[in-house]
Amino acid sequence: MKVLVAMSGGVDSSVAAALLCEQGHEVVGVTLRLWGGESDTGCCSVSDVDDARRVAQQLGIDHLVFNFTDDFHRDVVEPYVADHAAGVTPNPCIECNRHLKFDRLFDRAEILGFDAVATGHHARISADGPLLRVERGADPAKDQSYVVHMLDQSRLARTLFPVGHMTKSDVRHHATRLGLRTASKPDSQDVCFITSTKNEAGETGRSAFLRRRIELHAAEVVDESGQRLGSVDSVELVTLGQRRGVAGGGGTKRFVVDVDVMGRRVTVGPEESLLVDHEVGTAPTWSDGPYSGSVLVQCSAHGAPRAATIVADDSNNVRVVWTHPERRISPGQSLVFYDPTDRFVLGGATTVARTISSATP
């Protein structure tokens, strides 16, 4: 089989390519050039491209570089900035997988005559009766099924996750045995286009990146009765459920329960004020058509699954009714649905903004 392997310059994708070579496939490595600006973190630096190229040389396979910077800016960076300006908490890594790795790259692979696309994600693709499903990776600590939840049957049939059955330790041991230069390379932890470079105000990271692109606004912090408690420098950087950096005092634990960007106001309250009986997700994607019924829902890359019942309606939304009241999820985050055994991904959706509606446990 002719396989195009997305090689980010990390150990997982390096071993994915090596395993496919060992299995006798015709393998070509490709590194996606996504971010055209400064990059000193994540998976878009010049050194990462060089690492991928050098590993391909070690394995004796061809290595390509695809320039998808325009697509990345349109589908990932611009929405990231716009979401923050609107008080939404984006998930750029999921959108990169959705639009670039499992859309744009698939289109290019098909044009070039490849049978499948492989990545180094820690997830598996398994049969569930007549269907294919994304299954959790073998290493619970590294499971990445959450970030590849958008794959449907047509994509699943042409996707390979060669390291999904391995633990991270196994992956590194395999790379060491083969003498791959990425064997001990640390995992990428940050958003690739957020750098440590300081802006004119001496800021780094997310605030520096956004301030170069949008105006950030100070906001007052109030409690649920409207009493002023303090202020924050940038309301666009405040996230629902946040504790750090918002007014506290008196030993009282306060959490952000509402972010009003236009009104320049952040409301804080006790943790109970974050409890709700349901969430609404929009633009759902399914591995095999809309699903309604009992599920487990994961709300962040490494969050604990929550029991719920979901109902897919006709307005491109899905209603998630919690078995027990749960903390609200920040608008913009992904809700990923697993079958009741917590093994297979059924689909996912993006949380929408909603009016505060506290629930009593």
pLDDT of residue 359: 39
Tell me, what's the pLDDT at 244? 86
**pLDDT(349) > 50:** yes
Distance CA 317, CA 279 (A): 10
Query: What percentage of the chain carries pLDDT values higher than 90?
Result: 79
Please check whether residues 171 and 76 belong to one and the same domain.
Answer: yes
Do 229 and 265 fall within a single domain? yes
The predicted structure's pLDDT at residue 253: 87
Looking at the structure, tell me whether residues 261 and 293 fall in a common domain. Answer: no
Looking at per-residue confidence, does 127 or 194 come out higher?
127
Q: Residue 264 sits in a domain of what CATH number? A: 2.30.30
The question of whether 192 is a catalytic residue gets the answer yes
**326 against 45, higher pLDDT:** 326
The mean pLDDT of 213-235, rounded to a whole number, is 93
Question: What mean pLDDT, rounded, does the chain reach?
Answer: 90
Mean pLDDT across 76-98: 94
Residue type, 231: S
What span, in angstroms and rounded, lies between the C-alpha atoms of 56 and 79? 33
Considering the domain architecture, whether residues 76 and 167 belong to the same structural domain is answered as yes
Could you tell me if residue 11 is inside a domain?
yes
Based on the fold, state whether residues 170 and 89 are members of the same structural domain: yes
Enumerate the β-bridge partners of residue 293: 310
- Specify whether 16 is located in the same domain as 72: yes
Query: Residue 202 falls within a domain, yes or no?
Result: no
Percent of the chain residues topping a pLDDT of 70:
91
pLDDT, tens only, 118-160:
999 999 999 988 999 999 999 999 999 999 999 999 999 999 9
Structural domain containing residue 226: 217-269
Residue 268 dihedral angles phi and psi, to the nearest 5° = -120, 155
Given this model, what pLDDT does residue 192 score?
80
- Give burial (CB, 10 Å; 0-12/13-18/19+) of 294: exposed
243 and 326 together in one domain? no
Instruction: Tell whether 247 and 294 lie within a shared domain.
Output: no
Catalytic residue among 21, 43, 192, 299: 192
Number of domains in the chain: 3
Higher-scoring residue by pLDDT: 201, 344: 344
Bridge partners of 268?
256
- Give the amino acid at 353: A
Active-site choice (21, 93, 96, 299): 96
Which pLDDT score is estimated for 205? 83
- 3-class DSSP string for 168-213: HHHHHHHHHHHCCCCCCCCCCCCCCCCCCCCCCCCCCHHHHHHHCC
